């Protein structure tokens, strides 16, 4: 699904979920909101993204590696009741300068359409794809609207909040 299709989906869902009539074109307003995003907006979306996860496995199957911290490896090993050495050897985990890297194509913790470490999954997994969106934003590169259903839900929720704030602001301050 390309950006245009994702944007159409977002517009359709915002239109459906808005609890009131809106005095402007959503086809114009939503791209305006997306183009005016600030880093704090993306960070806010990242904080709420986990509650919108569909557990579809897209993040598990579309990556070639997973970077984790030592503490995340420890949490996973405790959760699975195995040693970190066992995980390191079994999944060929390597060390880089700042983290541990698990080769993933797909992620070795993703089997039969299920993440078997979901309750203790690494931060990079719980914030997918916002981590990549934030990175591209910080590099002043255009970010691609992911077809991650969780991210689409986060964006719809964020956009509805922005529109509600603007309409409430308009009603409170501009009503004659």
Give per-residue pLDDT as tens, 76-108: 999 999 999 999 999 999 998 888 999 888 888
> Domains of the chain: which residue ranges?
58-123
Give per-residue pLDDT as tens, 48-60: 777 788 888 887 8
Whether residue 59 is preceded by a cis peptide bond, meaning omega within 30 degrees of 0, is no
Position 175 confidence tier, pLDDT thresholds 50, 70, 90: very low
Note every long-range contact of 157-164, with CB atoms under 8 Å and residues 24 or more positions apart, other chains counting.
157/48, 157/52, 158/41, 158/44, 158/45, 158/48, 159/10, 159/14, 159/30, 159/33, 159/34, 160/14, 160/17, 160/18, 162/33, 163/14, 163/18, 163/22, 163/29, 163/33, 164/18, 164/19
CB 64 within 8 Å of CB 105: yes
Kindly state the average pLDDT of the residues 9-14.
Answer: 80
Q: What is this structure's pTM?
A: 0.66
Among the residue ranges 75-84, 116-125, 143-152, the one predicted with the least confidence is 143-152
Report d(CA 140, CA 122) in Å as an integer.
26
Report d(CA 136, CA 40) in Å as an integer.
14
Give per-residue pLDDT as tens, 122-141: 988 887 777 777 877 888 87
Position 2 confidence tier, pLDDT thresholds 50, 70, 90: low
Kindly state the average pLDDT of the residues 147-169.
Answer: 79
Q: What is the pLDDT of residue 40?
A: 87
């Amino acid at each position: 699904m390309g950006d245009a299709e994702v944007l159409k989906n977002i517009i359709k869902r915002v239109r459906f979920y808005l609890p009131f009539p809106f005095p402007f074109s959503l086809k114009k307003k939503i791209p305006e909101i997306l183009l005016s995003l600030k880093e704090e907006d993306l960070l806010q979306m990242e904080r709420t993204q986990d509650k919108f996860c569909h557990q579809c496995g897209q993040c598990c199957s579309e990556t070639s590696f997973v970077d984790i911290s030592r503490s995340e490896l420890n949490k996973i090993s405790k959760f699975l009741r195995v040693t970190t050495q066992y995980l390191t050897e079994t999944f060929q985990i390597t060390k880089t300068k700042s983290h541990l890297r698990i080769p993933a194509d797909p992620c070795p913790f993703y089997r039969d359409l299920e993440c078997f470490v979901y309750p203790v999954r690494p931060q990079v997994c719980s914030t997918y794809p916002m981590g990549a969106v934030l990175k591209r934003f910080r590099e002043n590169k255009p970010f691609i609207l992911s077809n991650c259903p969780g991210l689409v839900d986060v964006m719809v929720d964020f956009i509805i909040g922005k529109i509600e704030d603007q309409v409430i602001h308009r009603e409170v301050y501009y009503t004659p």
